Amino acid sequence: MGMGAVVESREWYLASYAPQGVPNSKHLKLRTASVSLEPHSIPDGHLAIQTLLLSIDPYIRTRFTGPNNLDGLYFPQYHLNQVITGVGIGRVKVSKDSKYKEGDIVLVFGDLPFAEYSVISSTKVSTKIDDDAIALPNYLSCLGVPGFAAWISLEVIGKPKKGSNVFISAASGAVGMIAGQLAKLKGSRVIGSTGSDEKVKLMKEEFGYDDGFNYNKEVDLDAALSKYFPDGIDVYVDNVGGKTLEAVLNHVNKQARIALCGMISQYDKVWTERDGVRNLLNLIGKEVRMEGFMIGSYFNLFDDFAEEMKKYIKEGKLKPKHKINIGIETALDSLNSLFTSSNIGKVIIQFNA
Domain boundaries, given as residue ranges, for the chain: 6-140+322-350, 145-296
Report d(CA 52, CA 135) in Å as an integer. Answer: 13
**Beta-bridge partners for 34:** 8
Look at 73-77, 120-124, 284-288, 329-333 and tell me which has the smallest mean pLDDT: 73-77
- Give the DSSP H or E segment for 259: strand 252-260
Residue type (1 letter), 217: K
Report d(CA 235, CA 14) in Å as an integer. Answer: 38
Q: Please determine, for residue 266, whether its predicted confidence score (pLDDT) is greater than 80.
A: no
Report d(CA 165, CA 188) in Å as an integer. Answer: 6
Instruction: Quickly state the pLDDT bin for 110 (edges 50, 70, 90).
Output: confident
Tell me, what's the pLDDT at 272?
Answer: 83
Half-sphere exposure at residue 112, Cβ-oriented, CA atoms within 13 angstroms? 26
Q: Which CATH architecture has domain 145-296?
A: 3-Layer(aba) Sandwich (3.40)
List helix spans (H) across 280-344.
281-285, 302-314, 331-337
Report d(CA 175, CA 187) in Å as an integer. Answer: 19
Q: What is the DSSP letter of 231?
A: T
Pairing of strands 346-350, 46-55: antiparallel
Give the max Cα distance, the chain.
69
Residue type (1 letter), 35: V
Q: Please list, in sequence order, all residues whose beta carbon lies within 8 angstroms of the beta carbon of residue 211, skipping any fewer than 6 positions away.
A: 191, 204, 228
Report d(CA 202, CA 224) in Å as an integer. Answer: 19
Domain topology for 6-140+322-350: Quinone Oxidoreductase; Chain A, domain 1 (3.90.180)
Mean pLDDT of 142-167: 97
Q: Please determine, for residue 271, whether its predicted confidence score (pLDDT) is greater than 90.
A: no
Instruction: Quickly state the pLDDT bin for 3 (edges 50, 70, 90).
Output: low
Residue type (1 letter), 263: M
